[in-house]
Amino acid sequence: MSENPPPQAARKKNGAVTLSMVTYFLLALRNLTRNMRRTVLTLIALVVAIGSLTFMLTLTEGYLGSMKDNFVLTNFGHIQVNAPGFQEDGLIDNYMADTGPAIAAAQADPNVIASSQRVYVSGLANVATASAAIIVIGVEPEIEKSVTRMAGFVTDGAWLEVGDNGGVVLGIDVAETLEAELGDKVVMTTQAPGGDFSSQVFRVRGVMESGTPEIDRLMAIVTLEAAQAWLELGDGATTVVLRVDNHENTDVVYERMLDQLDGQLFETQRWFDVDPFIQQIVESSDTSIIFILAIVVVVVLGEIINTMFMALYERTREFGLMEALGTGRRQLFAMLLWETTVLVSIGGALGYGGAAILTAIYGKRGIDLTAFTESLSSLYMDPIIHPVMDLKITVYILATIAITALLAGVLPAWRATKLNPVEAMRQI
């Protein structure tokens, strides 16, 4: 046998040699094609499960994103700075006489896109035949366009012009209650600082419909200048509103604003501090996503474990042969794990790819849920949902695929290593 010496060079010190990844991959791929019908059925289950899970995640991301956008950009902004106590009691007495430091801090922040001053005060709107409870908002008409979408909600008439200190834009429900039309006079009464009642006449310049009940039923928007003059606030305002470049930076900007305004009489709040409802929906949605992920993993796991055990049972004799030939336990283990991984990866990739295509199509086109507009608008949801694919979803799906492959592969692979070659080769 000297002309055919045993190869030793590539062997490790303990004598173990690992099969190459190409060999594992080749064996996995070819073994999967042994029973095409079973492999295809398992793949279909995987594609449907991973595909629908991915699409559901992109859909959720889409509507949660739109909810946050709508809540923040409809009216509130990402961050509001008020005088201490104002957010709690809403009294005009708690106004900021000097908003300069808050405006300066906001303008200096690199992640703040725009900031505006507002005056909030509750009151009553009257016409000859009707009255309605209102919240008056004094805004800087041009700057406000960069902070929120309020100007875009005007459906009748026009948004306020700079210097139009006699005009008002009413929420659509307020206008309907008052039966007020464009150009009509509306008398608005409120309490000025100190408790004196003060009335002012405004003409209706526009009517706005945001789809958000609290805006449509309560808002009466005037210019900041008009509000300041009416309520004798000088240059003061109740609120400075900040728009941040994206939701993820809200906390960073908030912390910086706290630092900048430290020691001064301001109260700074994020949008979810003021109204935690949307944030709770986002957080509960994260919890339900993990729950659904777990269900999908369990269902898919059952399917794949079944498939792999069938494969193990059918090939017991071959595993016995491989072991007899010198295939080690680790190699047998790796072989079945590879097979599971290839199966899950193909199914996962197809499912993910399919969902990504659907997301791309419906991301542009949107999914029309107009039939549910009433209930959706109260949740700040758009009636047309645009699914969004992002890194977080990709990571979720990759993790699901990896966990599923690992869990589904380990048990059959472990069983393969426990086979006795003599008994295994006796199997028919």
Partner 1 sequence: MALIETKDLMKVYGLGEVSVKALDGVNLKVEKGEFLVLAGRSGSGKTTLLNMLGALDMPDSGTVRIHGEEYQQLSKNKRALFRLRHIGFVFQAYNLIRVLSARENVAYVLELQGMAKAERLERADKWLEEVGLGGFGKRRPDQLSGGQQQRVAVARALAAAPDIVLADEPTANLDSTTATELLDLLVELNETHNTTFIFASHDPDVISRAKRLIQMQDGRIASDETKG
Distance CA 58, CA 390 (A): 8
Q: Is 322 in the site for partner 1 (CB under 8 A)?
A: yes
How near is the Cβ of 348 to partner 1 at its closest, in Å?
A: 23
In angstroms, the Cα distances linking 42 to 37, 294, 302, 333, 347 are 9, 19, 11, 21, 8
Q: Is 310 in the site for partner 1 (CB under 8 A)?
A: no
How near is the Cβ of 43 to partner 1 at its closest, in Å?
A: 18
Query: Which residue, 31 or 228, is less far from partner 1 as judged by CB?
Result: 31
Q: Which amino acid is at 79?
A: I
Q: Is 19 in the site for partner 1 (CB under 8 A)?
A: yes
Two tokens, residue 265 = 């009489």
Nearest to 388 by CA among 65, 67, 68: 65
**One of 23, 107, 199, 246 touching partner 1 (CB under 8 A):** 23
Q: Which amino acid is at 205?
A: R
Distance CA 188, CA 200 (A): 5
Q: Is 16 in the site for partner 1 (CB under 8 A)?
A: yes
Query: Which residue, 5 or 183, is less far from partner 1 as judged by CB?
Result: 5
Strand (E) or helix (H) holding 23 = helix 21-32
- Half-sphere exposure of residue 329: CA atoms within 13 angstroms, side-chain side: 7
Q: Is 10 in the site for partner 1 (CB under 8 A)?
A: yes
Pairing outcome for strands 154-157 and 197-208: antiparallel
Nearest to 406 by CA among 343, 349, 360: 343
Two tokens, residue 41 = 């059925």
Q: Is 15 in the site for partner 1 (CB under 8 A)?
A: yes
How near is the Cβ of 310 to partner 1 at its closest, in Å?
A: 16
Distance CA 263, CA 281 (A): 34
**One of 55, 190, 230, 329 touching partner 1 (CB under 8 A):** 329
Interacting residues with partner 1 between 34 and 73 (CB under 8 A): 34
Query: Which residue, 7 or 183, is less far from partner 1 as judged by CB?
Result: 7
Q: Residue 195: how many CB atoms within 10 A of its CB?
A: 9
Q: Is 323 in the site for partner 1 (CB under 8 A)?
A: yes
Q: How many residues bind partner 1 (CB under 8 A)?
A: 37
How near is the Cβ of 15 to partner 1 at its closest, in Å?
A: 5
Only one of the segments 52-60, 128-136, 199-207, 317-325 lies at the binding site for partner 1 (rule: CB under 8 A); that segment is 317-325
Query: Which residue, 23 or 288, is less far from partner 1 as judged by CB?
Result: 23
Only one of the segments 23-31, 111-119, 187-195, 303-311 lies at the binding site for partner 1 (rule: CB under 8 A); that segment is 23-31
Only one of the segments 17-25, 133-141, 254-262, 377-385 lies at the binding site for partner 1 (rule: CB under 8 A); that segment is 17-25
Distance CA 293, CA 53 (A): 7
**One of 331, 340, 341, 400 touching partner 1 (CB under 8 A):** 331
Two tokens, residue 40 = 């295809």
Query: Which residue, 2 or 287, is less far from partner 1 as judged by CB?
Result: 2
Q: Is 5 in the site for partner 1 (CB under 8 A)?
A: yes
In angstroms, the Cα distances linking 67 to 183, 289, 354 are 34, 17, 26
Q: Is 325 in the site for partner 1 (CB under 8 A)?
A: yes
Two tokens, residue 217 = 């039923």
How near is the Cβ of 305 to partner 1 at its closest, in Å?
A: 22
**One of 321, 350, 402, 410 touching partner 1 (CB under 8 A):** 321
| Residues ≥6 apart with Cβ < 8 Å to 327 | 335
Backbone angles phi, psi at 384, to 5 degrees: -115, 120
**One of 163, 295, 330, 357 touching partner 1 (CB under 8 A):** 330
Residue 197 pairs with which residues in a beta bridge? 191
Q: Is 8 in the site for partner 1 (CB under 8 A)?
A: yes
Chain residues binding partner 1 by CB under 8 A are 1, 3-12, 15-17, 19-20, 23, 27, 30-31, 34, 317-318, 321-331, 421-422, 425
